[in-house]
Every structure is written in structure tokens, then in C-alpha cells.
Structure 1
Amino acid sequence: MWTIDDNPPPPPSNDSGPKSFVDLLLKSSEAVVKYWPHSFEFRLRVSLTTDGGLTLTSRVRNTNDKPFSFSFSYHTYLLVSDISEIRIEGLETLDYLDNLSNKERFTEQGALTFESEVNPVVDRVYLSSTDAISVIDHQKRRTCVIRKKGLPDVAVWNPWDKKSKSMVDFGNQEYKQMLCADGAVVEKPVNLKPGEEWNGKIQFTLVPSSFCTDGLNLDKRGF
């Protein structure tokens, strides 16, 4: 169970602009140790800006007396108009692990779309991506720009119809209006010694649909 963090860290010195945020804290417990036998503290800051931007900042500290390693993914579910109208830019030429092919390694040839008639299901981890990608929704005429830090990989998932019908918490047609595009650490897990801390951060901003990855402003101020 998450609790409100009563002793949150101060915002970074380059963090500017009006926003509201909450700091959450998750600690290892007897229930958690049954599944993951390590002592840790996980702090999550959820920030909203006045223009609708969302930022998630994670801090994982090893409170164990031994080192441990872990992989990480935010598992963000984006609401989209129609998955067949979506294009993801920023993953071109990257290698990816295909979870539908026993994590076999392939190379992306172009912008990612979801229109394949052969096997439309997508369950991939793109490796060593840039710090920003864009999810372009043609029907809504808007783009979700995803910026990340400390998260070298990107997981992309949509179950399509057959898979969604087998999931008890997933409507039969809900795959059409959702997409997971997650900042992640998969290929090279994080290794933490006792007392060490890892930081990861992801930011979502909506911009007009004419926006594309080539035009992203990668200035890190405030991020």
C-alpha cells in the first residue's frame, strides 16, 4: 500500500513553473517480501502543470544489507481515438526484443503503426532509445510527447482482439482505444548496492498533431 510521503525531497534546482504534486511512498513489507525478497523504499512524485503536463518521478533506494537488481517499467496506458490511427515516431532504426517471438531481436525499419493484418498484436521492448518519442493520434489531431530520463528502453504493447478477450479485466473492444508506450529499464537491469538510489523520470505533454519527433525541443530545463 502506498502512503503519503511526509518527508519528500525538495524539487530539483532546475524545476520551474507552476505545478501541483503529491509524493507517495512504498516500503517493503511482509506481504511484498513474499514476492520480492529485498528491503527497499520506492518514492513516487506525481506532478501536474497548469497546461496539463504530467510528470512521474521515481526514486528506488536499497535499504537491504545486500545488493539487488531490478528491471522497471511505468506501464502507462494512453487513451487514443483508434489504435489503427496511431503512429509512434522516435523508434526508427532501433533494435527491439519481440516478446511474441521468445524475445528475439529485430530492428525497426520506420515509424511504428498498428495496421498489420498478419499479426497486429504488438509486445516489444525497444532498446537504447532517445530521450523523447511522440505518439501521434491522427483522428484526435494531437500528439503525446513522451520525454524520459534514466529509462533507456521503451516498452510498447497492444493486445488486440484475441488477447483482450482472454483478459478478465479488459473489455473485448477496449484494445482499440488504448496503447502502452512505457519508459523502461529492461535490457540492462539496475544494480543497487546497500544505501544506493536509482532515479527515473517520465513526462507527458500534449501538442498539436503536426508535431513530430524531428521537431522536439530536447531542452532539459525543468525536466
Structure 2
Amino acid sequence: MGHCAAIWEQRASFELTKDWNGIDEVVVLRNPKGASVRVSLHGGQVMSWRNDRGEELLFTSSKAMIFKSPKAKAMRGGISVCFPQFGKCGSLEQHGFARNRVWAIDHNPPPPPNPNPNDSTSLGKSFIDLILKPAQEDRPHGFELRLRVSLALDGNLTLISRIRNIKNAKPFSFSFAYHTHLSVSDISEVRIEGLETLDYLDNLCQGERFTEQGDAITFESEVDRVYLSSSQCVAVLDHEKKRTYIMRKQGLPDVVVWNPWEKKSRLMTDFGDEEYKQMLCVDGAAIEKSITLKPGEEWTGRMELAAVPSSFCCDNLDPHLNYF
């Protein structure tokens, strides 16, 4: 058993082991019912999320384990932290540098600025706190990025990121996303509810803005969109597995929906030619309007994932209710 870290309101135990390559350190969280989460210190990336039956809920490419890059990079799959940008812009690498850096375990994180006594984040959960500070070559300078990954008794997975502009630093702006690869049975049998009538930016049309016309999002070809100003809850229904993924989010107004389909899959070195059928990215994000922090200010973004029987749909939730 690994260290016991002092974390916000109570202590949590975790295992510290090695990745498949025997080099990168991995934190393993488990709950009493048998669910588990694996988090790599390389990138703070969630590599695995299994339910109490041992079923893997996140997609990871079979080629991710054997792909060799000139420099360390995030594994294709799981949930990676995209900061300080999503996509490719300027001199920074695709989706920013946070997912390509080595994080540290944060043994003494500061308490949240406005703790909620009814928040169940720290009650009955296994969790770990990680921290990333800027390297000399990183831009912007002067930030602290903290990430809490927690696994609840019911198997729900929660990620909370806190980004602070440390004092004596200049104001800086950033975008952010939890790049989430969900495991699905067959992409043609999947639909997304909760994004109806929203405007979206279509990256297949140079970012042109459209309005969603369908009752739900279904898939027949490549999709690469950013849905804007969405509600707190989005549902991904997998008919064949009779499973629904529920995403609840806070501080993350946008949702990225991505599937590369057949043609683009064949062009990606670390992705199998047919793996697009078993994968769907649905990301909680803050992309359209960048976040600007003055010295001393802090931003928090939170995403919770649950996997429930497929009878669930977004009509079961009040979009105005705060589920946190």
C-alpha cells in the first residue's frame, strides 16, 4: 500500500505501482465493491475506470502501448487533461503541455475557498490529489494546476481541477478540457442526449457555427464539434450494452464530441483502423470563451461520470438543479 496523503478534509489510501512500461508511476484507487481507477503521474491521465464487475468503461487504443514517439506524449485513450489549450494553436503542442508533463502527488493541498458542507466529494471515496507546476519552458508561467481524482462507493468517477495564478505573476488566459474516451459497443448504436438545440462549432467546416437540429446526436460519419453553453448534464446511451454514461459538470460550459471514423483512423499511428467503432469522445470543456485569471485568482472545473442502466435519459433530470 502506498502513502497516506492529507487531502482537504480527510485521508485516503491508494496504491502506487508502475505502468506497463515499468517506468511511469501509476496511482490505483479501489472502492470496497471492486470498482477501480488507474491514474498515471505522466500527464495526470486517467488510464482506466472499471466498474464492480471489472468491465472497462474507458477506451484505450490497442496501439497506444506499442506506439513510439520521439518524445513522451499522452496515451491515446482514457481521460487526459488539456491545458492551457485544446486543439492546436501557436507553438504549443496539441491540447497543451499538461498531459505531457510528469505530475507530483500533492500531499498537502489547500482547502477549497468555499467548502460545501453537503459536498460528498470527500465522503466514502478513494481519491488522490496531484499537482503540476510550470517548467521553465512552459507558457503561461505562474500557475499551479491541482487535480483531484476520486472514486465513489457507487463507482462514479469525479475529476476536479483547480488552476491558480500565483501571486506576483501576470494575468494569463487559457482553455481547458477533460479529453474523455468512452468505451462503447458500436458507435452506430450510440446516441447523445442533452445537447439538442445548442449551437456548435464544426471543426470539419473550419469552425463554422451551426445549430443542432436533431432530437439526439447519432453517428454515421466523422464528427468533430464543440457544443456551446450546454447544461450541467449530458447522457451517452449505448443500446447494445444497455448502458448509459452520465456526465455532470461544473465550470465547463462546453462539450466536445469527437469520433474520427474510418478514414482518419487509418491516418493515426497510435490508433487501430477499426477502433473508431468502439470509441466516443465526449469532453467537458471550457473552449469558446477563454478563462482569464488575475494574480491570486483561481478557477475550478469539475466533471463527474457515472455508468447506469440504459433506461436513463436526460429527461429524468431538472437542467436547472445543481447536482453538486
Query: Which TM-score applies when normalising by structure 1?
Result: 0.92
| Distance (Å, rounded) in 2 between the aligned partners of 1:132 and 1:41 | 28
Aligned to 1:15: 119
How far does residue 210 in structure 1 lie from its aligned partner after superposition?
Answer: 1.0
Aligned to 1:107: 211
Deviations 1:149-190 (A, max 9, x none): 000000010001111111111111111111110011111110
Aligned to 2:174: 70
| Counterparts in 2 of 1:217 and 1:48: CA distance versus 1, 3 Å | farther
Look up the SS of the partner of 1:211 in the other structure: coil
Q: What amino acid sits opposite 2:130 in the alignment?
A: L
Deviations 1:190-220 (A, max 9, x none): 0100111100000001111011001026654
Deviations 1:46-103 (A, max 9, x none): 0001211000000001126210100111001111111111100000000000001000
| Distance (Å, rounded) in 2 between the aligned partners of 1:103 and 1:29 | 32
1:156 to 257, 262, 281: 257
1:79 to 180, 183, 196: 183
Contact 2:140–2:172 (CA under 8 A) maintained in structure 1: no
Contact 2:142–2:170 (CA under 8 A) maintained in structure 1: no
Deviations 1:111-143 (A, max 9, x none): 10002xxxx100000000000010000000010
Aligned to 1:29: 135
Residue 54 (str. 1) matches residue 160 (str. 2): no
Look up the SS of the partner of 1:113 in the other structure: coil
Look up the SS of the partner of 2:289 in the other structure: strand
1:97 to 201, 212, 215: 201
Q: What amino acid sits opposite 2:128 in the alignment?
A: V
Contiguous gaps of at least 5 residues in structure 1: none
Aligned to 1:165: 266
Instruction: Write 1 or 2 for the structure with the bigger share of strand.
Output: 1
Residue 210 (str. 1) matches residue 311 (str. 2): yes
2:297 to 193, 196, 211: 196
The structure 1 segments of at least 4 consecutive aligned residues displaced by more than 6 Å after TM superposition are: none
Contact 2:193–2:217 (CA under 8 A) maintained in structure 1: yes
Contact 2:133–2:145 (CA under 8 A) maintained in structure 1: yes
RMSD value, Cα: 1.4
Task: Number of aligned residue pairs: give it.
Answer: 215
Residue 134 (str. 1) matches residue 240 (str. 2): no
Look up the SS of the partner of 1:76 in the other structure: strand
| Distance (Å, rounded) in 1 between the aligned partners of 2:308 and 2:182 | 15
| Distance (Å, rounded) in 2 between the aligned partners of 1:217 and 1:85 | 26
**Highest RCO, 1 vs 2 (Cα 8 Å, sep ≥ 6):** 1
| Distance (Å, rounded) in 2 between the aligned partners of 1:60 and 1:80 | 31
Q: What amino acid sits opposite 2:129 in the alignment?
A: D
| Distance (Å, rounded) in 2 between the aligned partners of 1:217 and 1:53 | 20
Query: Which TM-score applies when normalising by structure 2?
Result: 0.64
Contiguous gaps of at least 5 residues in structure 2: 1-101
Contact 2:156–2:305 (CA under 8 A) maintained in structure 1: yes
1:88 to 180, 192, 198: 192
| Counterparts in 2 of 1:25 and 1:50: CA distance versus 1, 3 Å | same
Aligned to 2:86: none
